[in-house]
Amino acid sequence: MPNWQRVVAATLTSTTIALATVAASAQSLRGGGASFPELLYERYNQEYEQETGERFKYTAIGSGGGIRLFTNQALDFGSSTLIPTPIEENQMEDGLLMVPTGGSAVAIVYNLKDVTTDVRISREQLAKIFTGKISNWKQVNSRYPDRKIQVVVRSDSSGSTFILTKYLRKISDGKIAASREPDWGFDLFATRPQDSGVAGEVRRTDGAIGYVQAGVALQNNLPVARLENQSGRYVRPTLEETKKALANIKFNEDFTSEEINDPEDGYPLVGLTWLLVNKKYLNPTVLEKTKELLNWILTKGQDFNEDVGYTRIPEDIANQVIETADQEFRVRPY
């Protein structure tokens, strides 16, 4: 090969490598999954970009979708309000670190024209509404209209659904199964994907009832029910009541927690949410970007949680997660 051709070839090769490096550096991390923390991650993205100049992409597709796409390596990180099953975790070839980011409440939202006071729903009534045994609003309260209860639920694999059905299982002594995609056992009015889909259907349907993350209810100006908790108080899904419910939560060694099913105090329908993160990486740039984002979320990012209605992760747990990432994140050979 003539010298000039060697020079051109070498220059093209160097340019290609440089461009590839720049592209990897400039590419935003891609995340997706639960709609439960969508408002929180939107705030994180705004603040993270303002502070660091970096952004990440997050798409709400449901917890089940987040687990599936993360397992298939279609995302840099997943998000879930569900804890992956052992079978799902075994399919994650690059390992899994569960990163708790915050806690929140599932609000029972409704649309009942001409009712201006808060709807109050007892534990027994809630279980009966979501099993079809109570089907008219007059059965909830004789002062409510004689109107059919139109039940709207999630159509996708949902952490919010699991939080609700796990609570229903607890208060029904196991008669209702906890599931991310339950067979509700009666004729539903509608099934819709994502919290936004449920909120939209409830908003346009007189007599409807459904469930969404508490911030989504507020964002959509939907009335929320007061639910009876274990101590007999009827409470709304406020941040203060959510904090009471999550005050004594205990974490497992893998940073999961499965104890939240009927807190003694506070609002009863609460849960945590997690990021799903690999422990092994092909691309060292993605590894470093992931560590930087996690460090920020678990330190500075926590300061924004309560602004959008989410509880903070205890500082000692956050520090343990950061330490685990430092120790266990690796670049794997090609």
Band of pLDDT at residue 2, cut at 50, 70 and 90: low
Query: How many structural domains does the chain have?
Result: 2
- The verdict on residue 232 lying in a domain is yes
Same-domain pairing of 81 and 203 = no
- 264-296 confidence digits (pLDDT tens): 899 999 999 999 999 999 999 999 999 999 999
- 161-216 confidence digits (pLDDT tens): 999 999 999 999 888 999 999 999 999 999 999 999 999 999 999 999 999 999 99
Same-domain pairing of 98 and 116 = no
- The verdict on residue 125 lying in a domain is yes
Q: Are 220 and 210 in contact (CB under 8 A)?
A: no
Query: Is the pLDDT reported for residue 9 higher than 90?
Result: no
- The verdict on residue 124 lying in a domain is yes
- 108-123 confidence digits (pLDDT tens): 999 999 898 899 999 9
- The verdict on residue 250 lying in a domain is no
Same-domain pairing of 34 and 139 = no
Q: Which of the residue ranges 15-24, 59-68, 268-277 would you say has the lowest mean pLDDT?
A: 15-24
Same-domain pairing of 295 and 241 = no
- 214-269 confidence digits (pLDDT tens): 999 999 999 999 999 999 999 999 999 999 999 989 999 999 997 777 888 999 99
Percent of the chain with pLDDT over 70: 92
| Residue 261 pLDDT | 76
Q: Which domain holds residue 89?
A: 28-104+271-331
Taking each continuous run of H as one helix and of E as one strand, the counts in the chain are: 12, 13
Higher per-residue confidence, 2 vs 42: 42
- The verdict on residue 265 lying in a domain is no
- The verdict on residue 173 lying in a domain is yes
Q: Strands 226-228 and 29-33, how do they pair?
A: unpaired
Q: Are 105 and 270 in contact (CB under 8 A)?
A: yes
In this prediction the pTM is: 0.88
Of the residues 245, 262, 282, which one is the last residue of a structural domain? Answer: 245
Chain-centroid distance, C-alpha 210: 17
Cα torsion at 180, 133, 208, 210 (round to 10°)?
A: -20
| Residue 308 pLDDT | 96
- Average pLDDT, rounded, for the chain: 91
Q: Rounded CA gap, 11 and 328, in Å?
A: 38
DSSP-assigned beta bridge partners for residue 103: 272, 311
